A and B are shown apart, each in its own frame.
Chain A
Amino acid sequence: MIRPLAGMARVGMRFQFAYRSDVIMSVVALVAQVFLLRMVWTSLYSGRESDPRGLTLEALLAYLSLANLQAFVTTPIIPMIAHFRIRTGTVFFDLSRPTGYLPQMAAFQAGHTAGGLLMLAPAIPVVLLVGTITPTEHPIGYAATLALGYVISVMMSLLICVIGFWTLETGAISLLYRLVSHFFAGTMVPLSFFPGALGVLADALPFKYMGYVPAAVYVGQLSGGQIGRAVAVEIGWIAALAGVLWAIWRRAHHKVVIQGG
């Protein structure tokens, strides 16, 4: 059970390295993005007396750098892989292995993320410097909310993979997902700045656990009981997504078996 999954994770990691020149460019793009946000927000804050929403400029910049790093690392690859494999029919090899399809995909994603982290490593000091990040007061809260947020992110992308069995086309859907999730994760603006209904919507969606929540914990905008509540809601999301995945997967698998016969 563990061996094949470890193998899948290794493939995911190697996949990341195979496209390293593209990845290097996107790391450069990440640094540029953080720089852009820094300059725009510094300009926005200039000349203001009080700190809006109780966020100092330093905390805000740290928040943005972290949220972007997180979003970069957690951006899922498996919808793309699944799309390709469903289109070319190679998905049947995945389905014929003794290990479940979804665990395989999850392992692939985990390996891919690990590879991404390795390659990102040289850029992290730069991003931290551009974003002026200082050590956090809630290291455990940050780690916990981020880890659970990552699990939510992987489960959401597994959902997209499974949808691919019906639509046979997940390229555009996964692009759409990436845009929507990045926006509602608060990678450009902290959710606390979202006005009215948009704020309510962003608060209700699970995307905030991939960006906003951990980063806000890190810079101290969320603390104490709020952290505990966030962790509890994250676990709730994971349980709910697990249920949905299980139900949809059963139907998808059924569909695949019929198509294959």
Chain B
Amino acid sequence: MIRVESLTKVFRRPHTFSGPLGPLRTLLTRRYDERTAVDGVSFEISAGEIVGYLGPNGAGKSTTVKMLTGILTPTSGLIEVDGRVPWRDREANARAVGVVFGQRSQLWWDLPLIDSLRLVGDLYDVPAARFAGSLRRMCDLLGLDDFLQTPVRQLSLGQRMRGDLAAAMLYDPPILYLDEPTVGLDVMAKQAVREFIAETNRLGRTTVVLTTHDLADVEALCERIILIDKGRVLYDGGIDDLVTAYAPPRRLVVELADDETRTFEIAAGRPIPELIAQVAAEHPIRDLSIREPDLEGVITRIYAESER
């Protein structure tokens, strides 16, 4: 469904000079600042997958998604989405993808939600009968009925996000890009968004690419993740494999009598009772627990290693 090969994007912009005559010098000189945002990224995603595309801020996630959607033209490398080259065939590609930005709504701010959905239907040439069916399905899945007539600017963040998801899926695109769809939402709203994504993927075999900082989204939805940092792929594969491969050691956390908390790493192969006995001999223990490695810990460790 999506094929990316040695994808690279270098941003090039005129060097800005400071000082009172700075703007003039910027205009007249031909000096450029270059920054490589995506550096030889390759991956393949098949139809019906939900893939988490993860990385710290500035890793190149958004730039990749912008190239996948045809907003940006790659500096070099190959992209194919549903058999098309997005930047060359932008409009056809646009019909095949739905995009949700958590930070920015595509809905018309001053108009009732339903008007925005109708306009999206028009823009994507959805025939009236199919539109009615799609709208019904979206309303049922997302519970839009209560606020269809409310101007978007009066919607809560959670309601607005549900509206945005509906707008992105109204024309049944086979691919859905989600950029931080749960940012700023409360627990209930997050749950609703995740359920919708899972449902869409299950019913319509929609391929989903999800970028997020909330690893709970990833754990709930994705079987596979692609980790990038500084424009390069660090890991591509299943979540379970990742945790096994990179698993930091389990840890023993003990609370001491004087309210102090100490953490001990459990080296691989060492019997735990032995460790506990050793710790108990040296310290007065009040309570203890064992921490299993989690995704967050794994990913933090990978980032830290890529820093070195």
Contacts and interface: CB of A to CB of B under 8 A. Distances in A.
Interface of A: 20-21, 24
Interface string B18-44: 001001000000000000000000000
Nearest to A22: B23
Q: Which 4 A-B pairs have the closest CB atoms?
A: A21-B23, A20-B23, A20-B20, A24-B23
Contacts of B20: 20
B6 to A, nearest CB: 39
Chain A binding surface SS class: helix
Contacts of B23: 20-21, 24
A24 B20 CA distance: 11
Interface string B212-229: 000000000000000000
A21 B19 CA distance: 12
Contacts, number: 4
Interface of B: 20, 23
A21 B23 CA distance: 7
B29 to A, nearest CB: 16
4 contacts: A20-B20, A20-B23, A21-B23, A24-B23
Nearest to B23: A21
Nearest to A119: B20
A20 B20 CA distance: 8
Contacts of A24: 23
Contacts of A20: 20, 23
A118 to B, nearest CB: 10
A73 B281 CA distance: 82
A20 B23 CA distance: 9
A115 B258 CA distance: 63
A207 B20 CA distance: 33
A21 B26 CA distance: 11
Nearest to B24: A24
Nearest to B26: A21
B27 to A, nearest CB: 9
Nearest to B27: A21
A20 B22 CA distance: 10
Nearest to A122: B20
Nearest to A118: B20
Nearest to A17: B20
B204 to A, nearest CB: 42
Nearest to A24: B23
A206 to B, nearest CB: 36
A56 B263 CA distance: 93
Contacts of A21: 23
B21 to A, nearest CB: 10
A24 B23 CA distance: 10
A174 B118 CA distance: 37
A125 B70 CA distance: 51
A138 B20 CA distance: 35
A21 B25 CA distance: 12
A21 B20 CA distance: 9
A27 to B, nearest CB: 13
B290 to A, nearest CB: 50
A129 to B, nearest CB: 22
A36 to B, nearest CB: 24
A24 B27 CA distance: 14
Nearest to B20: A20
B109 to A, nearest CB: 14
A24 B24 CA distance: 10
B16 to A, nearest CB: 11
A97 B20 CA distance: 33
Nearest to A21: B23
A169 to B, nearest CB: 15
A239 to B, nearest CB: 41
B151 to A, nearest CB: 18
A20 B21 CA distance: 10
A26 to B, nearest CB: 14
A88 to B, nearest CB: 15
A30 B20 CA distance: 20
B242 to A, nearest CB: 44
A100 B164 CA distance: 44
